[in-house]
Chains A and B, each alone.
Chain A
Amino acid sequence: MIARLSAISFNTFREAVRDRVLYNLVFFALLLVAAAPLFGEISIGLEKLILVNVGLSAISIFGIIIAIFIGIGLVSKEIEKKTLYTILSRPVRRWEFIAGKYLGLIMTLVVNAAFMTAGFYLALLVASRGLGKDDAGLLVAIYFIILEFFIVTAITLLFSSFSSPILAAVFAFALFAIGSFAEDLRNFAALATGATKWLATGAAYLVPNFSALNVISQVAHSQSISGRLILLNTVYALLYSLTATIGAILIFERRNLK
Chain B
Amino acid sequence: MAALEILGLAKSYPTGFWRKTLRPALSPLQLTVHEGETFGFLGPNGAGKTTTLKLLMGIIFPTSGSARILGRDFRDPDVKREVGFLPEQPYFYDYLSAPELLDYYARLSGVPEEERRKRIPELLERVGLADAGNKQLRKFSKGMLQRVGLAQAIIHNPRLIFFDEPMSGLDPIGRREVRELIQGLKDEGKTIFLTTHILSDAESLCDRVAIIHNGELRGIGVVEDLTSKSADKTEVAWRGAQALPAVSNLLAEEHVTGDIVRAVVASEQIDALLEKLRQQRAHVISVTPILGTLEDYFVAQTSGQKEVTV
Q: Which residues of A contact B (CB under 8 A)?
A: 3-4, 7-8, 11, 14-15, 18-19, 81-93, 254, 256-257
Contact = CB atoms under 8 A, between A and B. Distances in A.
30 contacts: A3-B107, A3-B110, A4-B108, A7-B104, A8-B108, A11-B104, A14-B95, A14-B96, A15-B95, A19-B95, A82-B90, A82-B91, A85-B90, A86-B87, A86-B152, A88-B59, A89-B57, A89-B58, A89-B59, A89-B80, A90-B105, A90-B109, A91-B77, A91-B109, A91-B110, A93-B77, A256-B60, A256-B61, A257-B54, A257-B60
Nearest to B58: A88
Nearest to A89: B85
Nearest to B83: A89
A196 B95 CA distance: 51
User: Which residue of A7, A91, A92, A257 has the most chain B CB atoms within 10 A of its CB atom?
Assistant: A91
B186 interface: no
Contacts of A18: 95
Nearest to B152: A86
Contact of B81 (A7, A15, A82, A91): A91
A86 B58 contact: no
A7 B111 CA distance: 12
Contact of B93 (A4, A15, A90): A15
A212 to B, nearest CB: 37
B92 A86 contact: yes
Nearest to B94: A81
A257 B104 CA distance: 22
A107 to B, nearest CB: 16
A86 B90 contact: yes
A3 B95 CA distance: 21
A91 B108 contact: yes
Contacts of A81: 91
A7 B77 contact: no
B78 interface: yes
B108 A92 contact: yes
A83 B91 contact: yes
B253 to A, nearest CB: 50
A79 to B, nearest CB: 9
Contacts of A86: 85, 87, 90, 92, 105, 152
The 8 closest A-B pairs by CB, nearest first: A89-B85, A7-B107, A256-B60, A89-B57, A18-B95, A85-B87, A90-B108, A91-B80
A7 B91 contact: no
Nearest to A7: B107
Contacts of A84: 59
A86 B61 CA distance: 16
A254 B156 CA distance: 28
Contacts of B85: 85-86, 89
A78 to B, nearest CB: 9
A86 B93 CA distance: 11
A82 B91 CA distance: 7
Contacts of A93: 77
Given A4-B108, A90-B108, 7 more contacts: A4-B107, A8-B108, A85-B54, A85-B85, A85-B87, A86-B87, A89-B84
Contact of B80 (A7, A14, A15, A90): A90
Nearest to B57: A89
Nearest to B55: A256
Contacts of A92: 77, 80, 108
A91 B78 contact: yes
B74 to A, nearest CB: 11
Interface in B48-97: 54, 57-61, 77-81, 83-85, 87, 90-93, 95-96
B90 to A, nearest CB: 7
A234 B90 CA distance: 42
A85 B107 contact: no
A83 to B, nearest CB: 6
A224 to B, nearest CB: 44
A14 B107 CA distance: 15
B87 A82 contact: yes
User: Which residue of A83, A85, A87, A254 has the most chain B CB atoms within 10 A of its CB atom?
Assistant: A85
Contacts of B59: 84-85, 88-89, 256-257
Contacts of B54: 85, 257
Contacts of A91: 77-81, 108-110
Given A7-B107, A82-B91, A88 B57 contact: yes
A15 B138 CA distance: 13
A90 B57 CA distance: 8
Nearest to B56: A89
B116 to A, nearest CB: 11
